[in-house]
């Protein structure tokens, strides 16, 4: 292959403060280079219409790198995500599918950490024998096609092994909420696809999403994260007895309200992080927060809701007796 001049569209795609860079690597079918350039100009023009677009650069293959590289620049991660997840981009990707020789690889470089990724991301790594690569890629395409049919799916990327750096194929995919991710992870369609993948050996799966830091990181790492609704209810379950216990402990000190609340909130934060959540809530509600894929639904969620109401009713009865019948706060 010969070196060619890079193609640029729009302003420079260079790095700027707060910007985000997307790097796509794509192998093109032999003899389709010019068709690929035409398609690339079309999808780049569509990207230029999106807010935050800074520019795009196309780098052709070299003697040492067989992929065409496309480098997009956006002014923020959120604007880059808007482009990545847009129906406009997906339509262009489907239109150019016949030009491509295998799946693309992708990498996102965020140049500041101020904007959190609100999507729920799953990262899967596979060790695939060289003789099974074609079968693996065909199977992965079926997985991707199935994911596209599920509500909340926001895209996926495939990263090839890099000799001397990593031996695994890495796949990441995103859903807009934990509920939509869980629907895919527990679906019959995914189970059927996984049954076909036994010939590729074992794989690892990691879910990236924690609405309350490490408060919910004590369960099965392969299970989908609990939804925002479940985490909120679980925090309520742990916060109620924690706050009442601390109030009973600090009340005899006779602190004024403004000082008592300040100190009480600090103690509550430490108690929730180091005692209540790991040793009470996660152990008592783990089966409901992160149910196994075999758990019957919606029965598991309904039983969890009833159990939580009963559990809090017990705490209410205990604290009523302690604070009204046996002792009154000063």
Return the closest-CA partner of residue 156 out of 84, 65, 238, 102. 84
Greatest Cα-to-Cα distance within the chain, rounded to the nearest angstrom: 87
Q: Residue 9: its pLDDT value, please?
A: 42
Domain end, chosen from 161, 192, 216, is at 216
Are residues 260 and 191 both part of a single domain?
no
Domain range for 280 is 228-326
Q: Residue 155: its pLDDT value, please?
A: 77
C-alpha span between 40 and 160 (Å, rounded): 22
Q: Residue 205: its pLDDT value, please?
A: 60
Whose tokens are 């794509």? That residue is 26
204 near 221, Cβ under 8 Å? no
Are residues 236 and 101 both part of a single domain?
no
Are residues 18 and 87 both part of a single domain?
yes
Q: Residue 83 carries which DSSP code? A: H
> What is the domain-level CATH number for residue 153?
3.30.70.100
Ordered per-residue pLDDT tens for the chain, 330 residues? 333 333 334 433 444 446 777 777 788 998 999 999 999 999 999 999 998 899 888 888 876 567 888 888 888 877 887 888 788 888 888 888 889 887 776 666 655 444 444 567 777 777 788 788 888 888 888 888 898 899 888 777 777 775 554 567 778 788 877 788 888 888 899 888 888 877 766 566 655 554 454 555 545 544 556 776 888 888 889 999 999 888 888 888 888 888 888 888 888 888 888 888 888 998 899 888 878 767 788 888 899 999 999 999 999 999 888 888 777 655
Are residues 296 and 201 both part of a single domain?
no
Pairing of strands 68-74, 53-59: antiparallel
What residues are paired with 69 via a beta bridge? 25, 59
Number of domains the chain contains: 2
Cα angle 110, 214, 235 (rounded to 5 degrees) comes to 120
Q: Residue 46: its pLDDT value, please?
A: 92
Are residues 232 and 212 both part of a single domain?
no
Q: Residue 15: its pLDDT value, please?
A: 42
What residues are paired with 26 via a beta bridge? 68
Are residues 175 and 235 both part of a single domain?
no
Q: Residue 8: its pLDDT value, please?
A: 38
Residue 116 lies in a domain: yes
Residue 222 lies in a domain: no
Are residues 58 and 146 both part of a single domain?
yes
Residue 136 lies in a domain: yes
Are residues 151 and 44 both part of a single domain?
yes
Domain end, chosen from 153, 183, 216, is at 216
């Amino acid at each position: 292959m010969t070196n060619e001049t890079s193609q640029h569209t729009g302003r420079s795609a260079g790095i700027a403060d707060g910007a985000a860079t997307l790097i796509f690597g794509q192998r093109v079918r032999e003899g389709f280079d010019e068709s690929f350039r035409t398609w690339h100009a079309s999808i780049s023009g569509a990207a230029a219409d999106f807010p935050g677009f800074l520019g795009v650069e196309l780098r052709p293959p070299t003697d040492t790198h067989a992929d065409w590289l496309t480098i997009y620049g956006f002014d923020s991660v959120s604007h880059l995500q808007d482009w990545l997840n847009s129906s406009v981009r997906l339509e262009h990707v489907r239109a150019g599918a016949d030009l491509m020789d295998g799946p693309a690889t992708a990498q996102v470089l965020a140049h500041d950490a101020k904007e959190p990724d609100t999507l729920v991301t799953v990262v899967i790594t596979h060790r695939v024998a060289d003789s099974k690569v074609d079968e693996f890629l065909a199977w992965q395409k079926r997985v991707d096609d199935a994911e596209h049919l599920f509500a909340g799916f926001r895209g996926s990327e495939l990263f090839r092994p890099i000799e001397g750096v990593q031996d695994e194929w890495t796949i990441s995919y995103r859903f807009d909420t934990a509920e939509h991710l869980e629907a895919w992870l527990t679906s019959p369609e995914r189970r059927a696809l996984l049954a076909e993948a036994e010939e590729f050996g074992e794989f690892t799966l990691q879910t990236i999403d924690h609405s309350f830091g490490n408060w919910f990181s004590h369960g099965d790492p392969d299970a989908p994260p609990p939804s925002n609704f479940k985490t909120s209810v679980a925090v309520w379950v742990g916060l109620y007895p924690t706050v009442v216990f601390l109030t009973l402990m600090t009340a005899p000190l006779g602190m004024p309200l403004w000082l008592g609340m300040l100190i009480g909130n600090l103690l509550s934060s430490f108690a929730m992080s180091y005692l209540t959540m790991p040793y009470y809530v996660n152990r008592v509600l783990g089966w409901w927060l992160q149910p196994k894929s075999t758990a019957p639904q919606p029965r598991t969620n309904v039983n969890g809701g009833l159990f939580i109401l009963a559990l809090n009713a017990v705490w209410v009865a205990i604290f009523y007796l302690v604070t009204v019948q046996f002792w009154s706060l000063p």
